[in-house]
């Protein structure tokens, strides 16, 4: 925008000097500071600018030229004023509240760590074939497992490779049981994994408690688990073989053909 009338700098100064009795020069300066700092958008509309061609044709005499070298240095006194930002410690429902953000971050961390525990629990039930790494879970049957992928035979309890039933015997004598309640086996493995994982998580996150990491199970899931335990007890009682010392023997009163075994469990011969 082109200014319709151009005033020299000395003319502006003279105008201000003539009016200084009623409006001191400091008022002009203060007014400019307020506008330039607090109302830049509104004040900007009052400013006129010259296009570049007009600037080239402007009449500027020597009185308008300021010698920067003649301006004395201004010593600014040192200040020890320190500004502090004080946060409101009152809990707020505002989503931008720092306290709420901290609470949400803590809750998110609790959820993440709880998921770590949750994932470790079912993983504890999964075994892997020592030869081909095929994962499997036994539903029921004896603990001599035959891999359906590569045929490798191993113990479901300790995962050692086995060739016959000599590996199995009395658990009180340090042998692995030939047949047991698989739900009890899985439950013990899950609890052990949960305890170990929870201890590791709490070591890295000491602010979390066991209650924060506790996995909540619904009543429906609890009922399903109770039903599985009941079926496991029935199958344990129906198993027609047992270990006598180091020998596999038939249990009197049971048919010699065992009930259908799980896909990964090898029936005794």
Cβ neighbors of 17 (< 8 A, separation 6 or more) are 25
Given a contact cutoff of 8 angstroms between Cβ atoms, the answer to whether 225 and 101 are in contact is no
Tell me how many degrees the CA angle 118-121-122 measures, rounded to the nearest 5. 105
Q: Is the pLDDT of residue 143 over 90?
A: yes
CA distance 172 to 241: 18
- SS3 of residue 51 by DSSP: coil
| pLDDT of 173 over the 50 cut | yes
Q: CA torsion angle for 95, 100, 106, 111 (degrees, to 10)?
A: -40
DSSP state of 127: E
> How does residue 158 score in pLDDT terms, banded at 50, 70 and 90?
very high
Question: What pLDDT is recorded for position 269?
Answer: 42
Task: Look at residue 117 and tell me whether its pLDDT is greater than 80.
Answer: no
Contacting residues for 99 by C-beta, under 8 A, at least 6 apart: 89, 91, 92
pTM of the predicted model, to two decimals?
0.47
Strands (E), the chain: 127-128, 135-136, 144-146, 153-155, 241-244, 247-250
69 vs 177: CA distance, rounded Å: 100
Question: How much is the average pLDDT of 181-207?
Answer: 86
- 16-25, 119-128, 246-255: which has the highest mean pLDDT? 119-128
3-class SS of residue 265: strand
CA–CA distance, 21 with 23 (Å, rounded to integer):
6
| Three-state DSSP state, 135 | strand
The values of phi and psi at residue 168, to 5°, are: -100, 155
Looking only at the bridges linking them, the beta strands covering 153-155 and 247-250 are: unpaired
Task: Give which of 145, 142, 124 is closest to 191, Cα–Cα.
Answer: 124
Segment 151-164 mean pLDDT: 94
Radius of gyration of the chain (CA): 43
What is the distance between the alpha carbons of residues 27 and 36, in angstroms, rounded to a whole number?
Answer: 14
Assign 51 a pLDDT band (cuts: 50, 70, 90): low
Task: Say which DSSP state 168 is in.
Answer: B
Bigger pLDDT: 147 vs 16? 147
- Confidence check: pLDDT of 123 > 70: yes
């Amino acid at each position: 925008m082109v200014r319709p009338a151009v005033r020299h700098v000395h003319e502006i100064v003279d105008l201000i000097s003539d009016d200084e009795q009623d409006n001191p020069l400091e008022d002009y300066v203060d007014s400019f500071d307020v506008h330039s700092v607090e109302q830049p958008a509104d004040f900007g509309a009052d400013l006129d600018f010259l296009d570049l061609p007009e600037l080239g044709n402007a009449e500027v005499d020597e009185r308008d030229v300021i010698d920067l070298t003649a301006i004395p240095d201004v010593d600014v006194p040192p200040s020890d004023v320190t500004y502090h930002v004080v946060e409101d410690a009152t809990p707020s429902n505002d989503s931008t509240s720092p306290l709420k953000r901290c609470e949400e971050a803590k809750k998110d961390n609790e959820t993440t760590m709880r998921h770590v525990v949750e994932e470790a629990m079912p993983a504890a039930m999964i075994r892997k074939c020592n030869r081909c790494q095929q994962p499997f879970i036994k539903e029921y049957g004896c603990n001599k497992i035959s891999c359906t992928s590569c045929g490798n035979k191993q113990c479901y309890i300790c995962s050692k490779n086995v060739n016959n039933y000599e590996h199995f015997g009395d658990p009180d004598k340090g042998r692995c049981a030939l047949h047991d309640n698989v739900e009890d086996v899985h439950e013990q493995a899950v609890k052990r994994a949960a305890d170990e994982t929870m201890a590791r998580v709490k070591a890295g996150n000491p602010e979390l408690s066991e209650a924060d990491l506790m996995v909540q199970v619904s009543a429906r899931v609890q009922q399903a688990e109770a039903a599985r335990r009941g079926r496991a007890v029935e199958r344990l009682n129906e198993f027609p073989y047992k270990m006598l010392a180091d020998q596999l023997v038939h249990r009197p009163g049971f048919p010699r053909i065992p009930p259908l075994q799980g896909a990964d469990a090898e029936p005794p011969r």
